[in-house]
C-alpha cells in the first residue's frame, strides 16, 4: 500500500492530498509492527493519542479495503474489523479457548484445563510462546459468535473437543495463534462455525488459508432448514452478491446451502442454535 502511494502518487483518489504524509507515516509503522494499539499508533506517528482516530482512521480503512481486501466482501466488515487486518486494535486482543492446552513461555510450562469453563491468553503472550500442545482432544471447533461460544463450552462441549472463540476478522497475531494450534496438532479434525450468510462464508474461507483441512460446522442446508423460524430475509442486492459467490471455486463447499438460500431468499444467524 505504501509503495503504491509513493510511486503512483495518486492520493486524491482516496483522500485529500494534505493527508498523504500522515498516511505514509501510519503505513510505515504498521509495516514494521505486527500489532499495535490504536492510540499508541497515534502517539507514535503524531504525538497525539486521538489524531489517528479523528482524521486518519477512515482514510486507512478505505485503503485497506481497496488494496488488501479487494477480492473480499468488504461490506461485511466493520471499521474495527478492517483495522484488525493490519494489526491495529483498540485494546490488546484476548484470545479465548476451552480445553486442555499446554503452552510454554520462557521455558516455563503453563497448563489450561477444560474444567475452568474457558481460558484465555492475550496477544502479547502469543509472541512469547516457545511451544504449544493440545491434549485429550480429537477435534478443534472455532466459533465466530461470542454468545454461541459461551453457550457451547457451558452446555454442549464434548470431552474430546477443544473449542476456540474466533470472533470476526482476526489480527495477524491472533492468526499466528491459530497457525500455531494447527501446526502443533495437524492430525486433529478442524471445524468452523459461523453465521450462514456471506460474512460467515468469508470468515470460513479466510481461516482455511491457515487450516487447509477445515470443515464447516452447522453451516449446511440441513442446519439452515432446521431453524426455518429464525430465517432472515435477504434483500435483492444481497442475493445478487451471494449469486456471484456461488460461482467462485473457493466457496464450493457451500454451494448446496447457497442454492437453498437463494431459492428461499434467506440467511441465518448462529444465535438461532442457542
Per the CB < 8 A criterion, the answer to whether 241 and 73 are in contact is yes
Which secondary structure element, helix H or strand E, spans residue 109, and what is its range?
strand 108-112
Q: pLDDT (tens digit, 9 = 90+) per residue, 116-150?
A: 789 999 888 888 888 899 999 999 999 999 999 99
SS3 assignment for 158-203: CCCEEEEECCCCCCHHHHHHHHHHHHHCCCCEEEEECCECHHHHHH
For 102, list phi and psi in degrees, rounded to 5: -120, 125
Cβ count near 64 (within 10 Å): 22
- Whether 6 has a pLDDT exceeding 60, the answer reads no
State the average pLDDT for the chain.
89
Q: How confident is the model at residue 226 (pLDDT cuts 50, 70, 90)?
A: very high
pLDDT at residue number 85: 83
pLDDT at residue number 98: 96
Residue 40 three-state SS: helix
Taking the alpha carbons of 217, 222, 226, 229 in that order, is the dihedral positive or negative? positive
Q: pLDDT (tens digit, 9 = 90+) per residue, 184-203?
A: 999 999 999 999 999 999 99
Amino acid at each position: 500500500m505504501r509503495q503504491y502511494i509513493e510511486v503512483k502518487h495518486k492520493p486524491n483518489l482516496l483522500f485529500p492530498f494534505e493527508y498523504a504524509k500522515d498516511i505514509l507515516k501510519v503505513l510505515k509503522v504498521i509495516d514494521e509492527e505486527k500489532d499495535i494499539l490504536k492510540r499508541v499508533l497515534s502517539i507514535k506517528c503524531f504525538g497525539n493519542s486521538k489524531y489517528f482516530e479523528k482524521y486518519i482512521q477512515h482514510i486507512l480503512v478505505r485503503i485497506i479495503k481497496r488494496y488488501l481486501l479487494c477480492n473480499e466482501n468488504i461490506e461485511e466488515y466493520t471499521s474495527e474489523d478492517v483495522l484488525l487486518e493490519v494489526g491495529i486494535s483498540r485494546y490488546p486482543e484476548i484470545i479465548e479457548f476451552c480445553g486442555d492446552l499446554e503452552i510454554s513461555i520462557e521455558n516455563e510450562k503453563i497448563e489450561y484445563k477444560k474444567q475452568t469453563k474457558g481460558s484465555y491468553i492475550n496477544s502479547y503472550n502469543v509472541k512469547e510462546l516457545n511451544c504449544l500442545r493440545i491434549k485429550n482432544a480429537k477435534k478443534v471447533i472455532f466459533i465466530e459468535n461470542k454468545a454461541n461460544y459461551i453457550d457451547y463450552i457451558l452446555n454442549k462441549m464434548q470431552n474430546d473437543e477443544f473449542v476456540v472463540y474466533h470472533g470476526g476478522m482476526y489480527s495477524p497475531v491472533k492468526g499466528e495463534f491459530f497457525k500455531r494450534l494447527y501446526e502443533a496438532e495437524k492430525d486433529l479434525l478442524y471445524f468452523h462455525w459461523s453465521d450462514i450468510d456471506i460474512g460467515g462464508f468469508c470468515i470460513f474461507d479466510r481461516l482455511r488459508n491457515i487450516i487447509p483441512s477445515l470443515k464447516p460446522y452447522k453451516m449446511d442446508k440441513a442446519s439452515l432448514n432446521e431453524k426455518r423460524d429464525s430465517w432472515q430475509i435477504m434483500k435483492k442486492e444481497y442475493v445478487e452478491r451471494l449469486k456471484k459467490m456461488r460461482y467462485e471455486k473457493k466457496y464450493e463447499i457451500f454451494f448446496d446451502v447457497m442454492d437453498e438460500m437463494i431459492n428461499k431468499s434467506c440467511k441465518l444467524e448462529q444465535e438461532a442454535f442457542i
